[in-house]
C-alpha cells in the first residue's frame, strides 16, 4: 500500500467517536527505475527511451513495458511513461490488463511531462469547408425562416462519420447520437422550447409498457413538424424522477394531439391524479421538450441530425475555427485486473463513452487529471485501495465518479478514496440518477446496477451545477466529510445532496463536516434507507434540510441549519402504509447479509433483532443538539400518522436551539458560517461542538495547485422546480 488510509475509523460502532481525518494527500510514487516517452510527433518504430526517440502511441509504450517484464522483474521504482503535450486521437480504448500491473515497489505510471497537457480524445475534427449551405427548397421551407440562411449541412457518409440510424423508441440519455463541439465547447442539440418546457393540456390515453400514450398539447408549434418522421419528445411524463424520450407516431394539428409510437412503464400523466377507471388525466404541468429537429434550429450553436437523409444540420457560431464530433463509444481508458498503476496529469475528453473504467483493480490512482465533455461517466471504479484525487471532472453526459468495492456480506473494506475533486456540470445528457459521486448505488432507480461498496472515503470534493443528486449512497461503513455541494437537483424531484433508497442494510454511514448550500435537498434517505449518522454539517438554503422517509436508525446531531423559514427536518412513516415489512427487495438484502452471525453481529450488535421488529417504521431516529437559524416557521415537520404518533421509539428530539437571527457567525454575508467563540449557540446547546467550516472543500496539494473561489451563499429561492408543488420541498 502506497498511501496512508486511516480506515480504522470506519470500523467504529454506529455512533462512532469522531477522529481526525485521514491524511489528505497520498505521497507521489517513488522515482522511476525506467522511463519511456510518448509524443504525438513520435514514432512507434523508435526506441521510446528519450524525448527525441519517443513512441507515438500509449499502446506502443504499454507493449514495451510488457516486453520488459518478460525478460526480468521491473526494477525498484517501476516504469514511468511520460506523455508529451498534444492530442492523441483514440479510435479504441487504451486498454490495460493484469499483465500491465506494477507492484508496491515498482509501480507503473503514465503521466504528463512537466508543464505539458497530453489530451486523449475520442472525437474527429471535421474541416469546416465540408459544410454546405442548405440549397434544397423543401428543406428551406421546413427550417425556421430566421435560421435558414445560417444553417449549414454535412453529409455524414461523405466524411465517414459513424452515427446511429435513429434513436431507440425510448431512451433516457443521448440515444447513442454523437455530440458536436465547436472550438471545444459543447453545442446544444436542437430542442423546443429553447428554454424551459412545454406542458400537456390533458392525457387522452394513459398507456403502459405495451400501449403508447396520447395527449392533447397546448401550443401550435407541433404543427410545424408534420413532415418529419423522426420526432422524439423528452419529458417528466409521470413523475419528477423519470424523464424518458419517446418516439412520436402521429401529430394531429386539427385535434392538437400527439400519439406516441412506444409505451413506457406505468404510462403518462401525473402519478398522483387518477380517474375511477385507473387512467390518469394529468395535471397540465407535466414538462416536456422536443429533441433533434432541424425545424427547431433557431440560434447559433444548435444542431440536429436528419436520420432520413443522414445529414447534420448546424448553425455555426461566429468565428468558429474547429468542429469536433465524438465517435469513440468505448471508454477512453480501461483497466481490468490491474494493480499498482498511476495515471497522472492526463486530459481525457470529447468522447461518446466513459472516461476511465477500472474493474477489479488494486491500488490504482487517477491524480491531477481532467475528464470532460464526454457522453458517459468520468470514472467507474470497482476494486480495492484505489484513489481518485485532485481531478477536474466536468461537462459530463452522466456522472462524475461511480465507485464500489469490498464485500458487504463479510464487511470487508475496499479502502477506496475519492478525494479533492472538482465535479460539476454533470448529468447533461442523462439527468436521472447521474451523481457527482455514486457509492455502490449503480446509477439507476432500481437495484440492478448496485454493487457491494464497503469502506469508501469521500472527502474534500466540490460538487455543483447538476440536475440531480450530488452523492448517491449504498453499502456500509462509508465516511463523507469536508465536501461542498451547491446548485444540484434543480432538474428532478426525489433528490438530495446525499440520497439513498430502499435498503435496510445501509449501515455505518458517517456524513460529517459537509457544506450544502443553495441546492435542492440535503440528506435524503428515501423509502426506508437506513443507517446515517449526520454530524457537524452546515446546511443552508430554501430547499435544503434532512428528511427521513421511514428509514430506521438515523442520527442527526450537532448540525447548523440556515433557512428563511422552517422546517429543516422531517420524517414520515410511509413504510407502514406501503408494506415495507413484507417488501421483497428490503427483505432479500437483509437475508443476504446474515445479520445474526459475524461479522455483522459484531459490527452491528442487535441489528438482526431490531429489523425483525417493525423495521418499516423510522425507529431510532434522533434529532439532537442542532443549531437552527430560521426567522419563522417550525423547525420540524412530523408526518408520522396517527396510529404511530405516540410510539416513543420513532423520534427523539432534544437540546436543539432555534435562533431567528444571526447566532454569531464569523461573516454570514460572505458565506462564512463558522461560529465565533462567543456565540450563544455554545451556551444554549449543551455539548455543541465547533464545526471546522474553514476546512471544508477543495484543498491545495501536489496535484491541485489552484482552488477556484467558492460562490458566495445566496440564500435566495432557487430556480423553479418542474412541478410547482416542489418549489419548497426538501424531502423525498
pLDDT, tens digit, 9 for 90 and up, residues 65-104: 999 999 899 999 999 999 999 999 999 999 999 999 999 9
Consecutive H or E run containing 652: strand 651-654
Rounded CA gap, 347 and 115, in Å? 13
Q: Cβ of 219: how many Cβ atoms within 10 Å? A: 12
Give the pLDDT of residue 718: 53
CA-wise closest residue to 111 among 371, 391, 345, 339: 345
Given a contact cutoff of 8 angstroms between Cβ atoms, the answer to whether 25 and 701 are in contact is yes
List phi, psi (to 5°) of 459: -145, 145
With cell 517513488, the residue in question is 30
Contacts of 62 (CB under 8 A, 6+ apart): 81, 94, 96, 100
> What per-residue confidence (pLDDT) applies to 40?
97
- Phi first, then psi: give them for residue 242, nearest 5 degrees: -135, 135
**pLDDT per position as a tens digit, 506-550:** 999 999 999 999 998 899 999 999 999 999 999 999 889 999 999
Using one digit for the tens of pLDDT, what is the confidence trace for 708-732?
Answer: 998 888 876 555 545 444 445 566 5
103-132 pLDDT, tens digit per residue, is 999 999 999 999 999 999 999 999 999 999
Residue whose cell numbers read 477556484: 708
Which H or E element spans position 719? Answer: none
Give me the count of residues in the chain.
Answer: 732
Reduce the DSSP state of residue 240 to 3 states and report it: coil
3-state secondary structure 77-142: CCEEEEECCEEEECCCCEEECHHHCCCCCCCEEEEECCCCCEEEECEEEECHHHCEECCCHHHHHH
pLDDT at 24 (0 to 100)? 37
Contacts within 8 Å (CB) and 24+ apart, 244-248: 244/170, 244/171, 244/172, 245/167, 245/170, 245/171, 245/172, 245/175, 245/291, 246/169, 246/170, 246/212, 247/167, 247/169, 247/170
- Cβ proximity of 534 and 561 under 8 Å: no
For residue 26, name the pLDDT band (cuts at 50, 70, 90). very low
Q: Mean pLDDT across the stretch 242-249?
A: 94
* All cell numbers assigned to 456: 469508501
Give long-range contacts, CB 8 A cutoff, 24+ apart: 160-163: 161/124, 161/126, 161/325, 161/327, 162/327, 163/305, 163/310
Cis amide leading into 567 (omega within 30): yes
pLDDT 10s digits, 164-218: 999 999 998 889 999 999 998 999 999 999 988 999 999 999 999 999 999 999 9
b vs e for 605-639, b when ≥16 Cβ sit within 10 Å of the residue's Cβ?
eebbebbeebbbbbbbbbbbbbbbbbeeeebbbee
Q: Mean pLDDT over residues 400-429, rounded?
A: 97
Express as a percent the part of the chain with pLDDT over 90: 84
Backbone angles phi, psi at 153, to 5 degrees: -120, 155
130-163 pLDDT, tens per residue?
A: 999 999 999 999 999 999 999 999 999 999 999 9
The DSSP letter of residue 53 is G
CA–CA distance from 517 to each of 545, 578, 717 (Å)? Answer: 10, 32, 12
Rounded-to-integer distance, Cα 191 and Cα 288, Å:
10
pLDDT score of 15: 31
Range in 1-15, 236-250, 589-603 the model is least confident about: 1-15
CA 279 – CA 277 distance, rounded (Å):
6
Contact (Cβ atoms closer than 8 angstroms) between residue 45 and residue 29:
no
Tell me the pLDDT band of 287, cut-offs 50, 70 and 90. very high
pLDDT digits (tens, 9 = 90+) for 337-358: 999 999 999 999 999 999 999 9
Cβ-contact 406, 414 below 8 angstroms: yes
Between CA 194 and CA 328 the distance in angstroms is 28
The HSE-up count of residue 64 (CA atoms within 13 Å, CB side) is: 23
Q: What is the DSSP letter of 515?
A: E
What's the confidence (pLDDT) of residue 120? Answer: 97
Q: Is residue 311's pLDDT more than 90? A: yes
Amino acid at each position: 500500500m502506497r498511501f496512508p488510509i486511516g480506515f480504522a475509523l470506519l470500523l467504529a460502532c454506529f455512533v462512532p467517536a469522531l477522529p481526525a481525518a485521514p491524511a489528505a494527500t497520498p505521497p507521489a510514487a517513488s522515482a522511476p527505475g525506467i522511463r519511456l516517452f510518448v509524443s504525438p510527433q513520435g514514432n512507434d518504430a523508435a526506441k521510446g527511451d528519450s524525448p527525441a526517440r519517443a513512441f507515438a502511441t500509449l499502446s506502443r509504450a504499454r507493449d514495451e513495458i510488457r516486453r520488459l517484464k518478460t525478460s526480468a522483474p521491473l526494477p525498484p521504482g517501476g516504469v514511468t511513461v511520460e506523455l508529451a503535450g498534444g492530442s492523441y486521437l483514440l479510435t479504441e480504448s487504451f486498454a490495460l490488463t493484469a499483465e500491465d500491473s506494477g507492484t508496491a515497489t515498482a509501480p507503473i505510471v503514465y503521466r504528463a511531462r512537466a508543464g505539458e497537457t497530453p489530451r486523449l480524445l475520442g472525437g474527429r475534427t471535421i474541416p469546416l469547408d465540408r459544410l454546405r449551405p442548405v440549397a434544397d427548397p423543401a428543406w428551406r421551407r421546413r427550417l425556421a425562416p430566421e435560421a435558414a440562411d445560417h444553417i449549414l449541412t454535412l453529409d455524414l457518409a461523405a466524411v465517414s462519420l459513424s452515427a446511429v440510424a435513429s434513436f431507440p423508441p425510448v431512451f433516457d440519455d443521448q440515444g447513442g447520437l454523437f455530440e458536436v463541439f465547436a472550438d471545444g465547447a459543447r453545442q446544444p442539440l436542437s430542442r423546443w422550447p429553447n428554454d424551459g418546457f412545454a406542458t400537456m393540456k390533458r392525457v387522452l390515453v394513459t398507456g403502459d409498457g405495451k400501449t403508447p400514450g396520447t395527449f392533447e398539447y397546448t401550443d401550435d408549434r407541433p404543427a410545424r413538424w408534420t413532415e418529419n418522421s423522426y420526432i422524439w419528445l423528452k419529458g417528466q411524463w409521470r413523475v419528477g424522477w423519470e424523464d424518458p424520450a419517446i418516439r412520436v407516431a402521429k401529430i394531429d394539428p386539427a385535434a392538437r394531439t400527439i400519439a406516441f409510437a412506444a409505451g413506457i412503464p406505468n404510462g403518462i400523466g401525473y402519478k398522483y391524479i387518477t380517474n375511477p377507471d385507473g387512467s390518469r388525466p394529468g395535471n397540465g404541468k407535466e414538462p416536456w421538450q422536443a429533441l433533434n429537429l432541424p425545424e427547431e434550429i433557431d440560434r447559433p450553436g444548435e444542431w440536429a441530425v436528419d436520420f432520413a437523409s443522414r445529414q447534420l444540420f448546424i448553425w455555426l457560431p461566429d468565428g468558429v475555427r474547429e468542429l469536433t464530433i465524438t465517435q469513440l463509444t468505448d471508454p477512453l481508458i480501461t483497466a481490468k485486473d490491474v494493480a499498482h498503476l498511476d495515471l497522472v496529469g492526463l486530459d481525457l475528453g470529447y468522447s461518446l463513452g466513459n472516461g476511465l473504467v477500472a474493474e477489479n483493480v488494486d491500488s490504482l490512482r487517477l491524480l491531477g487529471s481532467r475528464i470532460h465533455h464526454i457522453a458517459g461517466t468520468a470514472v467507474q471504479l470497482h476494486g480495492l485501495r484505489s484513489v481518485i484525487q485532485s481531478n477536474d471532472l466536468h461537462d459530463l453526459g452522466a456522472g462524475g465518479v461511480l465507485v464500489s468495492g469490498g464485500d458487504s456480506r463479510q464487511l470487508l473494506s475496499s479502502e477506496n478514496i475519492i478525494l479533492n475533486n472538482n465535479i460539476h456540470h454533470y448529468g447533461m445528457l442523462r439527468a436521472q440518477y447521474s451523481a457527482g459521486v455514486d457509492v455502490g448505488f449503480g446509477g439507476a432507480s432500481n437495484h440492478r446496477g448496485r454493487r457491494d461498496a464497503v469502506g469508501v472515503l469521500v472527502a474534500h470534493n466540490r460538487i455543483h451545477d447538476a440536475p440531480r443528486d450530488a452523492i448517491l449512497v449504498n453499502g456500509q461503513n462509508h465516511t463523507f466529510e469536508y465536501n461542498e455541494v451547491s446548485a444540484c437537483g434543480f432538474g428532478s424531484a426525489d433528490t438530495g445532496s446525499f440520497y439513498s433508497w430502499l435498503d435496510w442494510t445501509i449501515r455505518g454511514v458517517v456524513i460529517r463536516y459537509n457544506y450544502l448550500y443553495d441546492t435542492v435537498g440535503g440528506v435524503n434517505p428515501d423509502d426506508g434507507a437506513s443507517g446515517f449518522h449526520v454530524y457537524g454539517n452546515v446546511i443552508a438554503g430554501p430547499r435544503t434540510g434532512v428528511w427521513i422517509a421511514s428509514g430506521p436508525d438515523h442520527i442527526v446531531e450537532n448540525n447548523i441549519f440556515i433557512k428563511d423559514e422552517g422546517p429543516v427536518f422531517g420524517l414520515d412513516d410511509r413504510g407502514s402504509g406501503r408494506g415495507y415489512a413484507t417488501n421483497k427487495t428490503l427483505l432479500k438484502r437483509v437475508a443476504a447479509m446474515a445479520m445474526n452471525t459475524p461479522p455483522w453481529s459484531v459490527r452491528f450488535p442487535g441489528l438482526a433483532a431490531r429489523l425483525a421488529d417493525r423495521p418499516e417504521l423510522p425507529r431510532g431516529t434522533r434529532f439532537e443538539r442542532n443549531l437552527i437559524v430560521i426567522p419563522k416557521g417550525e423547525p420540524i415537520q412530523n408526518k408520522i400518522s396517527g396510529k404511530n404518533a405516540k410510539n416513543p421509539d420513532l423520534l427523539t428530539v432534544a437540546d436543539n436551539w432555534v435562533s431567528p437571527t444571526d447566532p454569531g457567525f464569523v461573516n454570514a454575508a460572505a458565506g462564512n458560517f463558522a461560529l465565533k467563540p462567543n456565540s450563544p449557540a455554545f451556551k444554549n446547546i449543551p455539548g455543541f461542538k465547533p464545526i471546522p467550516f474553514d476546512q471544508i472543500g477543495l484543498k491545495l496539494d501536489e496535484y491541485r495547485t489552484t482552488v477556484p473561489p467558492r460562490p458566495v451563499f445566496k440564500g435566495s429561492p432557487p430556480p423553479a422546480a418542474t412541478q410547482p408543488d416542489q418549489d419548497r420541498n426538501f424531502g423525498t
